[in-house]
Copies of this chain bind each other. A is one copy, B any other.
């Protein structure tokens, strides 16, 4: 469960969420292409993409002199599992609270 923290941390930045959304809507893109949609520099975006990559949310591959960034499908399932587990735990806590209040 502790593995979830870096994943959430990667999601906990507006710019990185924006990158994910951009890759969702526009498909695989180049850093330079992406940087035209954001206010920060290309290098800053590269750092953010590295963070997302370390979290396994994104993947990159070289094609000629370009580097293509895309969403990492397999990791998305893992993230979903974490999210489901956490919310289920919360639901159980709510159930316990409800039971407690009704007793």
Q: Which residue numbers of A lie inside 8 Å of B, CB to CB?
A: 1-2, 4-14, 17-18, 20-21, 23-25, 27, 71, 73, 76, 79-80, 83, 86-87, 89-90, 92-94, 96-97, 100
Pick from A14, A25, A97 the residue with the most CB of B within 10 Å.
A14
Copies in the complex: 2
User: A9-B13, A17-B2 given as contacts; is B83 within 8 A of A24 (CB)?
Assistant: no
Please name all residues of chain B whose beta carbon is closer than 8 Å to the beta carbon of A87 when the two chains form the complex. 76, 79-80, 83
Cα–Cα distance between A45 and B13 once the two chains are bound (Å):
22
* Consensus secondary structure, chain A interface: helix
Q: Among B21, B89, B94, B100, which residue has its beta carbon within 8 angstroms of that of A73? A: B94
Q: Among B5, B79, B92, which residue has its beta carbon within 8 angstroms of that of A14? A: B5
Verify B89–A76 contact, CB threshold 8 A. Answer: no
Please name all residues of chain B whose beta carbon is closer than 8 Å to the beta carbon of A76 when the two chains form the complex. 87, 90, 94
